[in-house]
Structure 1
Amino acid sequence: MNLQSNPVKSGPDDLVPSRYAVRIGDLDVLVVSDGVLPLPTTMLGHNADPAVRAAWLKDMFLPQDAFDWALNVALVRSGDQIILIDAGLGLDPQLNLPRAGQLVKRLASAGIDLASVTDVVLTHMHMDHVGGLLVDGVKERLRPDLRIHVAAAEVKFWESPDFSHTAMPQGFPDALRAAAKRFTEEYRSHLRTFEDEHEVAPGVVVTRTGGHTPGHSVVRLASGDDRLTFAGDAVFAVGFEQPDWYNGFEHDPEEAARVRVRLLTELAATGEQLVATHLPFPSVGRVAVDGDHFRWVPVFWDY
């Protein structure tokens, strides 16, 4: 399957097809939007001085109270394997997130059959990364031999999750806990856990970083001289200029900040491409060093 050559079948409610194709050497990559999450702006940096956070939002022409966070996943073809990186939100767990959970529909509009997916890689088990697999009827359409790759530390964490260092809106901890529990129960026989690093397919390696959650991982794609990292929730839009701001969903915010700085430093040095879950769609770009901070450099779209 060539992920870049499927016909466009956008519905009347779609402003754009909501997918973007990238070639990394011999690897086909399709970034797919699962929609957007309206969240309070305090979630971007709950440890930040409110005046400094307000100034950053103003400089970015963003509203002060809440705005829409992008929610991206990726589909990768490596040889005979079709690998889905994260699965989006799925159903709205009564948290008023009606514009997320679009993955299944948008894969269908791209001509992608769920039965063609051989592997799923989870950066972590927050509900906006596993929920697409919990939508009614999805499991029945997946391959019976589907492999789901996730860090062992992540599965262990959600047996008794600790929310004491997070700063989430009311209702989110319960929804996250319930989604992770249901996901583990429904897909336990499909889980392929790893400790620190695992090659999912030629050129596709998942590496545990920790921080955001104990088992949070990034996915490295490499083919020839081309490189791309899918960073999951290690990097948010504010994280380039303010990498030490704590995101409200981070279970270990101090470690998450260290992970973020290490990752951005590495990406700035290598010049490889970056995709992350909550950067504005299609979130393909590179990292530059700007004084003692970083700078996001989005790619010029290839039409």
Structure 2
Amino acid sequence: MSQAIRNTQEKTNMNLHKPTHVSRPRPEELVPSRYALKIGEIDVMVISDGVLTLPGAMLAHNADPAVRAAWLKDMFLPPDAFDWALNVVVVRSGSQTILVDAGLGSDPDLHLPRAGQLSKRLEAAGIDLGAVTDVVLTHMHMDHIGGLLVDEVKEGLRPDLRIHVAAAEVKFWEDPDFTHVSMPPGFPDALRATAKRFAKEYHNQLRTFEDEHEVAPGVMVTRTGGHTPGHSIVRLASGGDRLTFAGDAVFTVGFDHPDWHNGFEHDPEEAARVRVRLLRELAANRELLVATHMPFPSIGHVAVDGNSFRWIPAFWDY
């Protein structure tokens, strides 16, 4: 296992909590919802925002239904719907504390009661929202920005918060194109409305970049496009250790079938090219991968397997 995996699950060293606060598990928290590790001198914590239950067809709307059903069966997943994980990351580098993506928040019209857990799980982890200096958004889909629209989150954030997002992403959501997606009913309207509200409420905090931007020492955000025009990944590097948070560039099915089109991809063909390039690069340099919709805590490595890839989960370090 990589030396980078030095989990401090119960005793985080991130110093994000108030000194007098003692985090105790909530009665309803029956499974872990956070996992801490070090990337060199950078502290990292992966936090679960819960899960989304979505139709199985969302995995690959360009695949033969029988082939898709066979893959789901081989993975011991139900044939019609399954739970998509929602992961965000908190990073501490130098004097900066960075939240990468913000989860779903609350949208009662979509009936997703098991998602939007970020606020209470940050609290359970002892993370003070007022300590967050920066937010990085991989893109502006509602399951990545909605958490910032929750009242208690907005009230806890500092007024000088910087929100880093690709300029192409902000531009796209001024008049988004949904002609190539394959989403369940209600999602396009919800995505539009959430992005519009977010851009309005956080206009003064936005810090846009074109292609690449160093947010903090060893924390680089790079635009990939594909999933959305401004979709970005976040790469951490310190002391010889490396980790990439891939956002929605990589899904579980993408290792076996990187050419399958996810229903939320606005440019599916480009998204597939981005996915293949990224997975080949991660396999070559052996760095760690975390992604939004990989099963929590989604930390692992990538290996090339012929024309496809293998996902190798990291052993949990206690």
Query: Which bracket does the TM-score occupy, shorter chain normalised?
Result: over 0.9
In structure 2, the gaps of 5 or more residues are: 1-11
* Equivalent pair of 1:123/1:150 in contact (CA under 8 Å): yes
Matched, 1:122 2:137: yes
Distance 1:4 1:82 in 2: 10
Contact between 1:93 and 1:175, CA under 8 Å: does it hold in 2? Answer: no
Instruction: Identify the residue that residue 89 of structure 1 maps to in structure 2.
Output: 104
The CA deviation at 1:8 is 4.0
Pairing of 1:1-303 with structure 2 (within 5 A): 2-3=13-14, 7-303=22-318
Q: Residues 56-80 of structure 1, C-alpha deviation per residue, up to 9 Å, x if partnerless? A: 0010000000011000000000011
TM superposition shift of 1:272: 0.2
Offset of residue 5 of structure 1: 9.1
Percent of paired sites with the same residue:
78
Unaligned runs of 5+ in 1: none
Q: Which amino acid aligns with 1:29?
A: V
What is the alpha-carbon distance in structure 1 between the residues aligned to residue 131 and residue 233 of structure 2?
23
Structure 1 residue 93 displacement after superposition: 4.1
Q: Which moved more, 1:275-284 or 1:87-96?
A: 87-96
Supply the distance in 2 between the matched residues of 1:250 and 1:279 (Cα, whole angstroms). 16
| Preserved contact between residue 89 and residue 100 of structure 2 (Cα < 8 Å) | yes
How many residues align? The count is 303
Is the CA contact (8 Å cut-off) linking 2:85 and 2:293 kept in structure 1? yes
Letter of the 1:299 counterpart = A
Deviates more, 1:136-145 or 1:113-122: 136-145
Q: Which piece of structure 1 moves more, 2-11 or 130-139?
A: 2-11
Distance 1:238 1:33 in 2: 20
Name the CA distance, whole Å, in 1 between partners of 2:38 and 2:153: 28
Q: 2:183 is aligned with what amino acid? A: M
Distance 1:5 1:73 in 2: 16
**How far apart are residue 292 of structure 1 and its match?**
1.3
The two structures have a TM-score, normalised by structure 2, of 0.94
- The CA RMSD measured in Å over matched residues stands at 1.2
CA contact (8 A) 1:220 1:229 kept: yes
User: Cα offset for 1:220?
Assistant: 0.3
Change (3 A) 1:202 1:208: same
CA distance in 2 between partners of 1:27 and 1:186 (Å): 30
Contact 2:16 2:126 in 1 (8 A): no
